[in-house]
């Protein structure tokens, strides 16, 4: 798809671009697109630069697909055209699920992923799972230039959270109110840096379960977080197909402004690898390793949860201070017609954890290991950004493991 036409190839490669234009852009800003790509009128034609422009355009939230065409006119002029097929990017959110086997929870939101045609995400959500939660998000990675932008997020989140003690489990009502500001810097297409801070308050209110005089009934903590994320991204997209690899490194330092809780460090790395197999197959993999300050505390930061790492295991069934998780799945296109795609999915999720205050040898403890194979379906709209509805069923291999269905929007990873 990146090959130059054979007709007049030598002359084309040595020529300058006499005219350059975008075709197919309606909602996307022409000024923004021209600022983002590296090929322009008057520059030397370079197939390697064109290839990078194609990758960059396909990563934009407003672009479903991009191609190019080089026209060598009989007059000797060289014309370059970038054709883009746009995504629909004003996306409502509507999810529902059960809580405690008898209550219905729901989440509703609305996000614009290409505000002003400049790849800006703006939106928010409201959630009720017995408690009210909401969030507002702005992500403008290219606001100031092709390389610089920012992101700001506000969250008011309330949920019922289990804390695990040797003697039993305590249920708390947990509330987190936070404001986060991040600077965004992209270097040479493949390197992305996010760095900034988060100010937040955590409140824990005892609800039920194991209880002693040492267990607080009410706890309120003001905290400060320094955060950095480095992403190396060598993925390429062909609509819903992905090839290549990506590495994401997250590092955080958290300090309690007032209170007796010690500060701690946490970091995790995701390595993702994708491979096209034939015309319909896509093999996807994620290897995650995370480690944090090893405090013997029920508030350990890594949780075992089917919405995060092991499909079918349940909602926050355990916590740890280090984790090692491998997700691998084979996606196969069962049916496609025009804009609609039905994709089947066979997966294996496996992982292990270090207990709070424990040793890395906990990784090899059979009590901490989980293995969940499963099957799933994906309903995909090719021309709506992230319009992938997924449903997976994970089956626990261990004697004590549950099995369950996991719903979501977007691929699991």
Evaluate if residue 291 carries a pLDDT over 90: yes
Same domain for 100 and 64: no
Same domain for 106 and 65: no
Let me know if residue 241 belongs to a domain. yes
Q: What is each CA distance from 66 to 9, 33, 63, 329, 382, in whole angstroms?
A: 21, 12, 7, 27, 13
pLDDT at 73: 86
Query: Residue 324: which domain range?
Result: 90-409
Q: Which of 86, 108, 139 is the last residue of a domain?
A: 86
Evaluate if residue 284 carries a pLDDT over 80: yes
Same domain for 106 and 25: no
How many CA atoms within 13 Å lie on the side-chain side of 286? 20
Same domain for 328 and 199: yes
Let me know if residue 2 belongs to a domain. no
How close are the terminal C-alpha atoms of the chain, in Å? 26
Let me know if residue 183 belongs to a domain. yes
Beta bridge partners of 292: 266
Q: What is the mean pLDDT of the chain?
A: 91
Longest CA pairwise span in the chain (Å)? 89
* Percentage with pLDDT > 70 across the chain: 95
State the average pLDDT over residues 286-304.
Answer: 91
Same domain for 268 and 191: yes
pLDDT at 3: 41
Q: Which of 20, 54, 86 is the last residue of a domain?
A: 86
Cα 41 to Cα 141: distance, rounded to the nearest angstrom = 25
Same domain for 313 and 393: yes
Evaluate if residue 6 carries a pLDDT over 80: no
Let me know if residue 49 belongs to a domain. yes
Same domain for 330 and 402: yes
Question: Per-residue confidence at 8, pLDDT binned at 50, 70, 90?
Answer: very low
* Range with lowest mean pLDDT among 38-42, 73-77, 221-225, 370-374: 73-77
* Percentage with pLDDT > 90 across the chain: 73
pLDDT at 101: 59
pLDDT at 161: 84
* Range with lowest mean pLDDT among 101-115, 231-245, 328-342, 357-371: 101-115
Give the torsion sign (CA, 127, 208, 402, 317).
positive
- Using the CB atoms, write b or e for 318-355: b if 16+ within 10 Å: bbbbbbbbbbbbebbbeeeeeeebebebebbbbbbbbb
Token representation of residue 388: 């992938």
Token representation of residue 343: 């994709």
Same domain for 178 and 264: yes
Token representation of residue 315: 């909602």
Give the torsion sign (CA, 334, 339, 340, 341).
positive
pLDDT at 2: 41
CATH of the domain at 34: 3.10.20.310
Same domain for 144 and 51: no
Let me know if residue 70 belongs to a domain. yes
Token representation of residue 11: 């002359």
Q: What is each CA distance from 71 to 53, 84, 196, in whole angstroms?
A: 18, 17, 46
Question: Per-residue confidence at 134, pLDDT binned at 50, 70, 90?
Answer: very high
Q: Please count the structural domains in the chain.
A: 2
State the average pLDDT over residues 393-412.
Answer: 88
Same domain for 322 and 199: yes
pLDDT at 1: 42
CB of 323 closer than 8 Å to CB of 354: yes
CATH of the domain at 179: 2.40.160.50
pLDDT at 168: 82
pLDDT at 376: 97
User: SS3 sequence, the chain?
Assistant: CCCCCCCCHHHHHCCECCEEEEECCCCCCHHHHHHHCCCCCCCECCHHHHHHHHHHHHHCCCEEEEEEEEEECCCCCEEEEEEEEECECEEEEEEEEEECCCEEEEEEEEEEEEECCCCEEEEEEEEECCCEEEEEEEEECCCCCCCEEEEEEEEEEEEEEEEECCCCEEEEEEEEEEEEEEEEEEECCCEEEEEEEEEEEEEEEEEEECCCCCCCCEEEEEEEEEEEEEEEECCEEECCEEEEEEEEEEEEEEEEEECCCCCEEEEEEEEEEEEEECCCEEEEEEEEEEEECCCCCCCCCEEECCCCCCCCCCCCCEEECEEEEEEEEEEEEEEEECCEEEEEEEEEEEEEEECCCCCHHHHHCHHHCEEEEEEEEEEEECCECCCEEEEEEEECCCCCCCEEEEEEECCCC
Same domain for 338 and 378: yes
Q: Which of 86, 104, 135 is the last residue of a domain?
A: 86
Same domain for 277 and 142: yes
Let me know if residue 3 belongs to a domain. no
């Amino acid at each position: 798809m990146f090959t130059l036409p054979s007709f007049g190839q030598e002359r084309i490669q040595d020529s300058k671009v006499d005219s350059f234009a975008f075709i197919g852009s309606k909602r996307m800003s022409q000024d923004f697109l021209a600022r983002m790509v590296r090929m322009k009128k008057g520059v030397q034609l370079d197939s390697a630069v064109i290839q990078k422009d194609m990758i960059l355009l396909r990563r934009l939230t407003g672009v479903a697909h991009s191609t190019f065409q080089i026209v060598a006119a009989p007059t000797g002029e060289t014309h370059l055209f970038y054709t883009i097929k746009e995504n629909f990017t004003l996306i409502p959110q509507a999810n529902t699920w059960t809580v405690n086997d008898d209550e219905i929870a729901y989440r509703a939101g609305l996000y614009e992923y290409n505000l002003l045609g400049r790849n800006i995400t703006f939106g928010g959500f409201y959630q009720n799972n017995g408690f009210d939660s909401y969030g507002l998000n702005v992500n403008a990675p290219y606001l100031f230039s092709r390389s610089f932008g920012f992101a700001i997020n506000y969250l008011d989140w309330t949920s019922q959270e289990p804390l695990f003690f040797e003697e039993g489990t305590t249920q708390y009502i947990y509330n987190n109110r936070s404001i986060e500001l991040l600077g965004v810097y992209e270097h040479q297409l493949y390197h992305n840096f996010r760095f900034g801070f988060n100010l937040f308050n955590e409140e824990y209110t005892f609800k039920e379960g194991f209880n002693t005089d040492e267990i607080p009934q009410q706890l309120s903590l003001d905290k400060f977080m320094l955060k950095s994320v480095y992403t190396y991204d060598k993925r390429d997209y062909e609509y819903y197909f992905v090839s290549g690899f990506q590495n994401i490194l997250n590092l955080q330092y958290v300090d309690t402004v007032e209170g007796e809780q010690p500060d701690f460090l946490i970091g995790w790395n995701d390595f993702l690898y994708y491979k096209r197999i034939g015309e319909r197959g896509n093999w996807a993999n994620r290897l995650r390793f995370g480690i944090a300050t090893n405090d013997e505390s029920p508030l350990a930061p890594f949780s075992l949860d089917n919405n995060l790492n092991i499909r079918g295991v349940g909602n926050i069934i355990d916590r740890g201070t280090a984790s090692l998780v491998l997700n691998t799945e084979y996606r196969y296109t069962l049916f496609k017609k025009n804009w609609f795609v039905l994709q089947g999915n066979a997966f294996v999720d496996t992982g292990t954890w270090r207990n709070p205050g424990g040793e890395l040898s906990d990784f090899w403890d059979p009590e901490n290991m989980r293995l969940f194979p499963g099957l799933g379906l994906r309903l995909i709209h090719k021309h709506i950004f992230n319009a992938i509805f997924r449903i997976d069923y994970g089956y626990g291999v261990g004697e004590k493991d549950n099995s369950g269905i996991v719903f979501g929007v977007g691929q699991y990873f």
